Structure 1
Amino acid sequence: MASFHLQFFFFPLLIFISPSKAQQSPKPKALLPISKDSSTLQYLTHLNLGTPLNSKTLVLDLGGRNLWMDCDSNYNSSTYRPARCGSAACSTSTPIFGCLLCFDAGCHNNTCLISIENTVTSTVGFFEGIAGLGRTHLGLPHQLSLKFGPKFALCLPSTSKSNGAVVFGNPTTYLFYPNYNKSKLVDMSKFFAFTKLYINPVPTAHDVPKGERSAEYFIGVTSIMIMGKPIRLNETLLSIDKNGHGGTKISTVNPYLHCTREFHIQGGS
């Protein structure tokens, strides 16, 4: 059994995700900015989409299945092309509920009709969609994988006054300037600690066909200790059982209390 140590500080948290073990040739890198909403504690990113370019604010969801946005509000692109039923793009979208039939202006007949999930419970209209980074064909990492490779990293800001980024690609170094002091350049890759990612064979989202695995990222945890004292909890819930119940997942949409105390988590190797 291996153990790893987590300590909470007021600087960005870097999470390196490799959904695929396939070896990739060197590819270019892509970067999206990340900010933190002070009222909801959600992580936000911004995409410029359409023709002409239109800036959209999206919630960053590490386990989100899809990249989707509200096209009914302030979005009209001359280069928009719907995914037609029977097309290659439609065939990789699951679940498919049929073809869309509509008569309203701006609506497109014979397009894929799929289910999207709003994983943010807040009713505040501060975002226009969700950038899902989950293990699906419609997730942002897969859509960018041919161009940048299957790996990505998250640098999450700890407060609304700091900035972060999501990096697509496989850079060999992660350089940061602490407190924006360029005289103190730090390569964070020297301090990386790694733990195995697990896949839940049972989907955890709504309206997903039986037999499809979860799009979320899980880690192996057997116990949690605070200040050297174990937390009393049903430890069997920390692992995924044969029915897909339980497990310890990494989430960006479920905020937790910020803490400067020291945590020790015992994880399976």
Structure 2
Amino acid sequence: MAILDKEKVSVIYGTPTMHADVVYRASQLSEEERRTKFATVDYVISGGASISKQLMKQLHETLGLKKSICAYGMTETSPATFMAQLNETGEKKCYDTVGYIMDHTEAKVVDQNGRVVPFGTAGELLIRGYCNMLGYWEDEQKTKDTIGPDRWLRTGDQFILTSDGYGQVVGRMKDLIIRGGENIYPLEIEEFIQTHSDVLEAYAYGIADERMGEEVGISIKLKENAKLNVDDIKAFCKGKIAHFKIPIESVTVANALS
């Protein structure tokens, strides 16, 4: 917030989590203080994860924004492939879409059999263009699973494409958890939790969270007579895995029987 005054910031770029924090901090100010603090801010750009329509509206109302821009992409596509335009008008396109397909980029939405679906129909988004990566480092199988021989890259995201080139994220077809714009792979957490001497099996999943987008939850099957709670799990993880990957919720499904 101090930088806004010092640098006279005109654009705020960040993930939905960062924007939620800005809204919270701004809400602590008086209307006059907000007007002064954000006087130079013309618009915000949001990326890294899907931003809710509600948060976007809060940004506009709290900061008095003139514009807001959403972008969509992934590391594998360098990253942005859709982005709202500065001259965009209309609440629906500003709040409900991730913008317009980028230049020199192809996009299509397919069903589970790989057939292109009609505009306005949900399916998996595929991207092709100069922006696509060549492949995963030293992981030929994952590269083949992600990029076809025709160079179409599977995003794993459920998506709707409109006839005028705008896109809307519906959900994810893979189990990736996105917490505050950070990508978290459940298997990595599961394998780590299962190194605990009292844990037999573990299953990681995403929990909806207003601020972070998602938090990490873990369901565990304990060994016979073992007892663990969420504080024990947090203590076990602390300093061993990234802080944003530590589960906030732990559910014991059952204890193993001898």
Query: What is the TM-score normalised by the length of structure 2?
Result: 0.24
Indicate the structure with greater helix content: 2
Bigger Rg, which one: 2
Query: What is the TM-score normalised by the length of structure 1?
Result: 0.23
